[in-house]
């Protein structure tokens, strides 16, 4: 059991709170094939990145803003069948509204649609692609969330399922919790690793929160 003492918990969205990776990969693969790009490469490079950053990386010859708009248009509308990640609902319910936020590489409209479709409550603070100038692995999004919550970065725990997001959390000076198979045995200095959110219990503490992480 690992205990993390903190003031706030910051979550990535896709694959962390909402089981949306299958949908995301299908949309990206169809987009990649339509442009003659390798779909496996596009999917592998997409994890933790904003759509616009992915397009610039894999297809610098294309109009990044126009292509991002096409991808986002589909992401905003295709939300059927989305479910919460196991453990997401009780964990979020245990957190006071001023002690958690979502930092996502997707747009705010996509994030709100996915949260609603999965039945996950919308946080008071949601940092989306359009709210920052640099996406993960840059720490800007996580630092912005900490500022909005009035919390020192070193007192934030971050739950992420992608290496780019872990890098962002580490660069922000936060405590990263890796989630899912992609980060099992990661060489990155994780504070803890969990298969899903059922492994995390949140309790109030005199100095904020204590996360009990089953390891």
Residues belonging to the active site: 12, 14
Q: Alpha-carbon distance 215 to 212, whole Å? A: 9
Contact between 131 and 41 (Cβ < 8 Å) = no
The token pair at 88 is: 């997401």
Q: Which of 213, 215, 207 is nearest to 6 (CA)?
A: 207
Contact between 82 and 20 (Cβ < 8 Å) = yes
Using DSSP, state whether 203 is helix, strand or coil: strand
């Amino acid at each position: 059991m690992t205990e993390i003492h903190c003031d706030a918990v910051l979550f990535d969205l896709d694959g962390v709170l909402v089981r949306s990776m299958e949908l995301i990969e299908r949309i990206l693969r169809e987009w990649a094939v339509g442009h003659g790009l390798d779909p496996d490469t596009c999917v592998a490079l997409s994890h933790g990145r904003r759509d616009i950053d992915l397009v610039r990386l894999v297809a610098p010859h294309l109009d990044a803003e126009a292509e991002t708009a096409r991808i986002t248009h589909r992401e905003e509308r295709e939300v059927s069948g989305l479910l919460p990640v196991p453990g997401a609902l009780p964990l979020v319910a245990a957190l006071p509204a001023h002690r958690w936020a979502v930092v996502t590489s997707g747009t705010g409209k996509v994030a709100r649609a996915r949260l609603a479709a999965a039945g996950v409550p919308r946080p008071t603070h949601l940092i989306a692609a359009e709210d920052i100038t640099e996406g993960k692995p840059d720490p800007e999004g996580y630092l912005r969330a900490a500022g909005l919550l009035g919390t020192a970065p070193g007192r934030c725990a971050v739950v992420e399922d992608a290496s780019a997001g872990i890098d962002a959390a580490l660069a922000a000076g936060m405590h990263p919790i890796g989630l899912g198979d992609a980060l099992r045995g990661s060489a990155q200095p994780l504070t803890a690793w969990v298969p899903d959110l059922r492994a995390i219990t949140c309790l109030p503490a005199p100095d904020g929160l204590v996360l009990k992480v089953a390891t």
